[in-house]
């Protein structure tokens, strides 16, 4: 019921109180200085501004009279609870939270992000298959949670929305919840702030969340607030025990989610973690083709151009699509007969420079480190614990971490599949050496210089 409907009801009540001629004019003035805030679970919350009003309303006979008139106008018995006007404001956010939560529970999905529109390739087919198959599982889920991790722009959000779109269509009876973890955190924090006379809002939010059959959380790495982790943890466990399917995305392997407590991470590890990588050449091309599908007439693009884009921009599908959009946009301005390689190179010149020359990759770091130490890849990837080799590895790990913010797990893959814990100790060792060993520090600086000259 809206606030203005309460106003109407309250006016009726006050009119009747006045007509009863029971109170003096003065007393009546005090009584009229009140509002009916809301009626919930047969409790009518009436707010007052002054202590005089409170005293009057608390008198047995006043209270009885108002209770009986209000019950009649409202249509069923109510009891009265008095609240101070300024406390009423504390009650307000709860409605907002309720609205926000309801809004969030009614998740909408981007219609473009479907399984049909997702191009499968080697780099993403496992993630694709896991997401699709969980949509058709009933009862106990084989892998719970499914955790998809990988760099930005590689289709994680797309896949979560694809699950949502698919279920909406094929299994409309399912309750599906989707949120960015950041949004979830703000809901939880709001809920925590508004503990009030209505009881615990957090409990309400929790009970709404656990009612879902599918629980899709995007970018879990942003769930860094401790208090919200606590709530998430209980919701998570409850969902699992109720047999809901959980799908989570992250920009890092679960073991590297430093901001999250280990008990949560170990739960994530209980399911299936799948890496989503950058698309190979053919997949990138297929993504581009999908994008122009149906518009071939309007934008004629030479095959060679698609090859060019697929080669240069496949680190991030967002950039890949962006480069194509840019070409199409410029073509509408210049109207060339066909978008050929010259046109493409001219339009995308600036972007390519950034992509080709400035972009540092882990491979380039490896190359520079081995060149500096006069080693081969085999040496650095191998098992020998010779000091020079160990130092070269430390430099490599340190720079990959510092310059590229690479996950320990992916650095480990570059170093002969070393375990992420080995890499993390290597990084710590490098930090120590930089402080205590001038030669090591210089080596780091030299390699970095080599990389900058590249
Ligand atoms: P992430 O969440 O991993 O950062 P997104 O899911 O937001 O990435 O993807 C970025 C853009 O690239 C989106 O427009 C998405 O539709 C598109 N995209 C990514 N991978 C694919 C794919 N395999 N097929 C089609 N489109 C893709
Ligand atoms: Mg995303």
- Residue 161 host element (H or E): helix 156-170
Nearest residue (by CA) to ligand 1, atom 9, is: 155
Residue for token pair 């409309």: 172
Predicted local distance difference test score (pLDDT) of residue 315: 82
Contact present, 317 and 155 (Cβ < 8 Å): yes
Q: How far apart are CA 158 and CA 377, in angstroms?
A: 36
Residue 128 CA: nearest ligand 1 atom is: 23
- Beta strand 272-275 with 146-149 is parallel
150: left (phi over 0), alpha (psi -120 to 50) or beta: left
Residues around ion ligand 2, judged by CB within 5 A, are: 156-157
C-alpha gyration radius of the chain: 31
Nearest CA among 307, 221, 224 for reference residue 268: 221
Name the packing angle between helices 181-193 and 85-105 (round to 10°): 150
> How many whole angstroms from its chain centre is CA 95?
24
Cα of 121 from ligand 2 centre, angstroms: 19
Q: How far apart are CA 409 and CA 353, in angstroms?
A: 29
Predicted local distance difference test score (pLDDT) of residue 192: 77
Residue for token pair 């009986």: 68
396: left (phi over 0), alpha (psi -120 to 50) or beta: alpha
Tokens of residue 137, six digits: 């599982």
Contact present, 319 and 284 (Cβ < 8 Å): no
Predicted local distance difference test score (pLDDT) of residue 197: 43
Q: How far apart are CA 103 and CA 375, in angstroms?
A: 58
End-to-end CA distance of the chain: 67
Q: How far apart are CA 324 and CA 280, in angstroms?
A: 17
Contact present, 355 and 313 (Cβ < 8 Å): yes
> Mutate which of 132, 163, 317 to test ligand 1's pocket (most atoms within 8 Å of Cβ)?
317
Q: List 7's β-bridge partners, or say none.
A: none
User: Ligand 1: which residues within 6 Å by Cβ?
Assistant: 113, 117-119, 124, 152-158, 287, 317-318, 321
**Burial grade of 1 (CB within 10 A; 0-12, 13-18, 19 or more):** exposed
Tokens of residue 58, six digits: 């608390």
Cα–Cα distances (Å) from 417 to 382, 414, 421, 422, 429, in that order, read 10, 6, 12, 10, 19
Full-model pTM? 0.62
Predicted local distance difference test score (pLDDT) of residue 299: 76
Cα of 155 from ligand 1 centre, angstroms: 3
Which is it for the CA torsion 319, 325, 330, 331, positive or negative?
Answer: positive
> How many whole angstroms from its chain centre is CA 345?
36
Ligand in nearest proximity to the CA of 123? 1
* Local mean pLDDT, 10-residue blocks, the chain (454 residues): 76 92 88 89 88 89 93 92 77 62 72 95 95 85 90 94 96 92 80 60 85 94 86 93 95 81 89 92 94 81 94 88 90 89 88 59 91 88 92 95 87 92 93 89 85 68
Q: What is the DSSP letter of 35?
A: E
């Amino acid at each position: 019921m809206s606030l203005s409907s309460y106003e109407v009801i309250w006016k009726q009540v006050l009119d009747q109180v006045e007509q009863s001629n029971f109170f003096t004019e003065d007393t009546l003035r005090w009584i009229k200085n009140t509002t009916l805030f809301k009626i919930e679970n047969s409790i009518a919350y009436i707010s007052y501004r002054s202590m005089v009003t409170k005293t009057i309303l608390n008198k047995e006979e006043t209270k009885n009279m108002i209770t009986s008139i209000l019950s009649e106008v409202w249509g069923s018995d109510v009891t009265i609870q008095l609240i101070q006007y300024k406390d009423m404001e504390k009650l307000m956010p709860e409605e907002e939270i309720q609205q926000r939560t309801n809004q969030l529970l009614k998740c909408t999905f981007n219609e473009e992000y479907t399984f049909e529109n997702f191009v499968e390739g080697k780099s993403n087919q496992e993630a694709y298959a896991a997401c699709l198959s969980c949509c058709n599982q009933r009862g106990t889920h084989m892998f719970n949670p499914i955790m998809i991790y990988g760099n930005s722009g590689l289709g994680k959000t797309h896949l979560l929305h694809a699950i949502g779109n698919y279920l909406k269509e094929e299994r409309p009876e399912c309750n599906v919840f989707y949120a960015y973890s950041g949004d979830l955190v703000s809901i939880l924090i709001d809920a925590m702030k508004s503990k009030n006379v209505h009881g615990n809002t957090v409990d309400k939010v929790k009970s709404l969340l656990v009612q879902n059959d599918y629980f899709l959380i995007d970018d879990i790495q942003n769930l860094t607030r401790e208090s919200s982790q606590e709530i998430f943890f209980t919701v998570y466990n409850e969902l699992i025990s109720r047999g809901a399917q959980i799908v989570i995305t992250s920009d890092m392997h679960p073991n590297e989610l430093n901001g999250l407590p280990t008990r949560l991470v170990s739960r994530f590890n209980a399911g299936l973690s799948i890496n989503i990588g950058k698309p190979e050449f053919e997949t990138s091309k297929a993504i581009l083709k999908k994008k122009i599908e149906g518009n071939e007439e309007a934008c004629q693009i030479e095959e060679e151009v698609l090859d060019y884009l697929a080669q240069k921009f496949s680190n991030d599908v967002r950039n890949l699509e962006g480069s194509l959009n840019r070409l199409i946009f410029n073509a509408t301005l210049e109207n060339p007969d066909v978008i050929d390689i010259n046109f493409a190179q001219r339009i995308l010149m600036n972007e390519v420079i950034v992509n080709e020359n400035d972009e540092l990759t882990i491979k380039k770091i490896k190359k520079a480190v081995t060149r500096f130490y006069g080693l081969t890849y085999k040496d650095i990837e191998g098992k020998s614990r010779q000091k020079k080799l160990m130092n070269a590895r430390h430099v490599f790990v340190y720079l990959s971490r510092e310059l590229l913010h690479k996950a320990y797990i992916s650095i480990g893959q570059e170093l002969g599949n070393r375990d992420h814990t080995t890499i993390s100790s290597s990084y710590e060792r490098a930090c120590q050496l930089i402080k205590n060993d001038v030669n090591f520090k210089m080596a780091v600086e030299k390699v970095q210089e080599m990389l900058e000259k590249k």
